[in-house]
């Protein structure tokens, strides 16, 4: 009996041991699969929908043929005959085999500054008959702690595509010749810190003689543009070259482009159009324009601190203290996410509209976006449409910063104390000095230094790495915003008074698909309208709704014409019309308006578009139709008042929910009647 029990225990031990070995082997196989089948694992992750966004929609979807749908999502009829055309319009010689020398460029700044600067240096290189070395993006050098598998320009853009697309425009090489490399390391080549929007005269009389003499010059571009935006008419081909660089040659790195494409697929998966919204609320922009009082907490102090820093460096010429209320009334401050949400709801977009928030981080954090989430159920961004694994994958293999960057060595005083302790006599000996503590602040939080110091703490390597990551985040947002069905900016200026990320998006959309809806609201007029109903903002009357709808509709054209006078003088890429566009009018429209100029022709004349599209483009299908002329009519004769901002509740009370849906459907019916 005892032998039987011992045999049974021994058998159970062997079974347990075999089970343990199998478990370890299974884990080992899973690790191997995760390591060597990343692509398949990525597809599996996408298929099981592990993102934080859970779409919530009404049971009924708006018909795509209804007047209301066309008014909200359809193309802008007056711009349908505008098409992209960046090819040379006359004789255009290939770059000369004998160049005047090499131009090496170091570009500093954020995403929109880098993109504008690259387009400018390509145009400058052709103008000076120089060979361009692939630009170095300072934000992505190895000193910032980024992955060593990427080299500067290639961290953000596809190097091979860039060089191949511009082969007939400029001679481009990846690196300097060895002899010039050593000269640059020894700081023996001339360096120019190029001013913002430098004229061609500057390059012709300052840079070109030095380039011919030394065969190489180094340009440092830091303000987001090194060539004047508007060029003489006889140099129009250089404007077309800028467009070819920005809209054709500058392609993002393949894995970044793939992730952006995946995000677009996920946004369009529900089968509904979506809006891209860029808040433009950065700390530098708020400080530059004096909008600190939009916040009533420590963020206002941070903005004021930044403004003081800008004044010391000559970026701002005005006073330190500015009345933010007056700035807002003048339209110099960004529209808040809540104000943009009110505009969209007033125009007719329902609570279940998909809104993609682009353009990097919003100053003030997610708290600033809470009112927008209250107005719209499906507010998303790149983090809610992707996994942390997908985002970390585009960063590459990055080293552990704690190991790669050791802490600072102890001070001489601490070393002296340690030596004294080691060399002291017999016990009792004095205790060793305590280890040095990192700098802390009495006020908890990342902003604690504001209360104790006039100087911001120096950026850590982790923060520098994050700044490089932001370039990739904005590359993803840029792709999504350009392809969105509707785009609306909260602000169009950066922390130096120049056109910002949203301006580049609007310029790209104008070039690629001019008829796609891109709102450009007049902030001064919007603030005036919002202040009229400040006390009852969520229960607007009919006359106010009519004013908002009229303004939003007019911003599609009037805002575009205003941009041609305002933004283009600072950034060509924010308004690449008429140099990079051509006209292909609808034949039926041409016949019907032979005697009287149409609204379309008046818009084209205001934009200055005179070039006719090449004959090979005439075979393409023209989507414009006569019935679209009236698709954006606003219902201005509706006598009833509308409770626009109906709060969507998820209660199980079917009766109350039916009432809300009935009221919203009645509002939509009124809009449809007005569109006929």
pLDDT of res. 432: 65
Which range in 29-43, 471-485, 578-592 is most confidently predicted, on average pLDDT?
471-485
| DSSP, res 234 | G
Q: Is the dihedral of CA 566, 572, 573, 578 positive or negative?
A: positive
Q: CA 88, CA 90: separation in Å to the nearest integer?
A: 6
- Asked, as a colleague might, if the bond just before 428 is cis with ω within 30 of 0, I would say yes
Q: Quick one: pLDDT band at residue 6, thresholds 50, 70, 90?
A: low
Overall fold of domain 102-251: Rossmann fold (3.40.50)
| Dihedral in degrees, nearest 10, Cα atoms 231, 237, 241, 243 | 70
pLDDT at 506 over 90: yes
Q: What is the pLDDT of residues 331-383, one digit of tens each?
A: 999 999 999 999 999 999 999 999 999 977 788 878 889 999 999 999 999 99
Query: Could you tell me what percent of the chain has a pLDDT over 90?
Result: 43
User: Average pLDDT, stretch 442-451?
Assistant: 52
Q: What is the pLDDT of residues 651-665, one digit of tens each?
A: 333 443 343 444 444
pLDDT of res. 53: 67
Q: CA 67, CA 472: separation in Å to the nearest integer?
A: 39
Q: CA 308, CA 544: separation in Å to the nearest integer?
A: 40
Q: Quick one: pLDDT band at residue 24, thresholds 50, 70, 90?
A: confident
Q: What is the pLDDT of residues 617-640, one digit of tens each?
A: 765 555 444 444 444 444 444 433
pLDDT of res. 418: 65
Of the candidates 576, 615, 478, which has an alpha carbon nearest to the alpha carbon of residue 84?
A: 576
Domain range summary for the chain, segments of one domain joined by +:
102-251
pLDDT of res. 244: 96
Q: Please, which contacts does 90-97 make with residues 24 or more away whose CB atoms are closer than 8 Å?
A: 90/237, 92/237, 94/168, 95/126, 95/129, 95/168, 95/169, 95/170, 95/171, 96/129, 96/171
What is the chain's mean pLDDT, rounded?
80
Q: What is the pLDDT of residues 208-267, one digit of tens each?
A: 999 999 999 999 998 888 999 999 988 999 999 999 999 999 999 999 999 999 999 999
pLDDT of res. 316: 87
Q: What is the pLDDT of residues 170-210, one digit of tens each?
A: 999 999 998 898 888 888 899 999 999 999 999 999 999 99
User: Average pLDDT, stretch 533-545?
Assistant: 83
Query: Could you tell me what percent of the chain has a pLDDT over 70?
Result: 74
């Amino acid at each position: 009996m005892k032998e039987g029990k011992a045999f049974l225990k021994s058998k159970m031990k062997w079974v347990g041991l075999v089970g343990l070995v199998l478990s370890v082997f299974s884990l080992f196989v899973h690790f191997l699969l995760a390591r060597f089948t990343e692509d398949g694992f990525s597809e599996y992750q996408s298929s099981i929908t592990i993102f934080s966004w859970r779409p919530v929609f009404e049971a009924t979807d708006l018909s795509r043929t209804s007047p209301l749908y066309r008014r909200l999502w359809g193309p802008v009829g007056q711009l349908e005959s505008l098409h992209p055309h960046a090819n040379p319009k006359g004789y255009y010689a290939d770059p000369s085999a004998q160049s005047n020398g090499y131009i090496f460029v170091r570009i500093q700044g954020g995403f929109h500054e880098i993109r504008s600067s690259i387009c400018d240096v390509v145009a400058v290189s052709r103008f000076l008959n120089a060979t361009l070395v692939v630009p170095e993006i300072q934000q992505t050098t190895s000193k910032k702690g980024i992955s060593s598998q990427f080299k500067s320009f290639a961290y953000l853009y596809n190097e091979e595509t860039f060089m191949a697309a511009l082969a007939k425009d400029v001679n481009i090489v990846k690196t300097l010749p060895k002899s010039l490399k050593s000269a640059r390391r020894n700081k023996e080549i001339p360096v120019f810190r190029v001013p913002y929007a430098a004229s061609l005269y500057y390059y012709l009389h300052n840079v070109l003689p030095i380039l011919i003499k030394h065969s190489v010059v180094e340009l440092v571009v830091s303000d987001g543009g090194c060539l004047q935006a508007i060029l003489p008419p006889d140099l129009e081909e250089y404007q077309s070259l800028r467009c070819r660089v920005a809209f054709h040659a500058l392609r993002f790195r393949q894995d970044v482009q793939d992730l952006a494409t995946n995000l677009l697929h996920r946004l369009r998966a529900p089968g509904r159009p979506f809006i891209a919204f860029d808040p433009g609320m950065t700390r530098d922009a708020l400080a530059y324009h004096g909008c600190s009082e939009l916040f009533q907490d420590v963020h206002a102090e941070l903005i004021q601190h930044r403004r003081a820093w800008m004044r010391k460096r000559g970026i701002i010429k005005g006073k330190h203290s500015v009345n933010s209320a007056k700035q807002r009334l003048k339209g110099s401050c960004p529209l808040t996410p809540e104000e943009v949400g009110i505009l969209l709801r007033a125009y007719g977009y329902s609570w279940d509209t998909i809104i993609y928030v682009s353009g990097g981080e919003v100053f003030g954090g997610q708290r600033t976006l809470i009112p927008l989430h209250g107005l719209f159920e499906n507010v998303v961004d790149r983090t809610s449409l992707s996994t942390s694994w997908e985002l970390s994958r585009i960063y590459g293999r990055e080293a552990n910063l704690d190991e790669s960057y050791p802490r600072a060595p102890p001070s001489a005083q601490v070393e002296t104390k340690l030596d004294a302790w080691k060399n002291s006599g017999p016990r009792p000996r004095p205790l060793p000095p305590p280890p040095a503590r990192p700098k802390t602040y009495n006020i908890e939080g990342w902003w604690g230094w504001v209360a104790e110091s006039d100087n911001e703490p120096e950026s850590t390597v982790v923060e520098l790495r994050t700044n490089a990551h932001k370039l990739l985040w904005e590359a993803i947002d840029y792709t999504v915003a350009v392809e969105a069905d509707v785009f609306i900016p909260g602000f169009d200026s950066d922390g130096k008074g120049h056109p910002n990320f949203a301006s580049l998006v609007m310029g790209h959309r104008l070039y690629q698909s001019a008829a796609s809806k891109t709102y450009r609201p007049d902030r001064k007029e919007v603030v005036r309208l919002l202040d009229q109903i400040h006390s009852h903002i969520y229960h607007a009357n009919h006359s106010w709704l009519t004013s908002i709808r009229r303004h939003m509709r007019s911003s599609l054209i009037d805002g575009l014409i205003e941009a041609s006078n305002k933004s283009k003088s600072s950034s060509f890429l924010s308004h690449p019309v008429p140099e990079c566009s051509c006209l292909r009018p609808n034949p039926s429209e041409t016949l019907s308006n032979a005697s009287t100029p149409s609204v379309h022709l008046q818009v084209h004349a205001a934009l200055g578009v005179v070039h006719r599209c090449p004959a090979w483009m005439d075979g393409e299908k023209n989507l414009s139709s006569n019935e679209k002329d009236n698709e954006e009519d606003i219902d201005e004769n509706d006598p009833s008042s509308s409770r626009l901002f109906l709060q969507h509740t998820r209660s199980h009370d079917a009766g109350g929910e039916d009432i809300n849906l009935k009221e919203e459907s009645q509002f939509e019916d009124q809009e449809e009647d007005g569109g006929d």
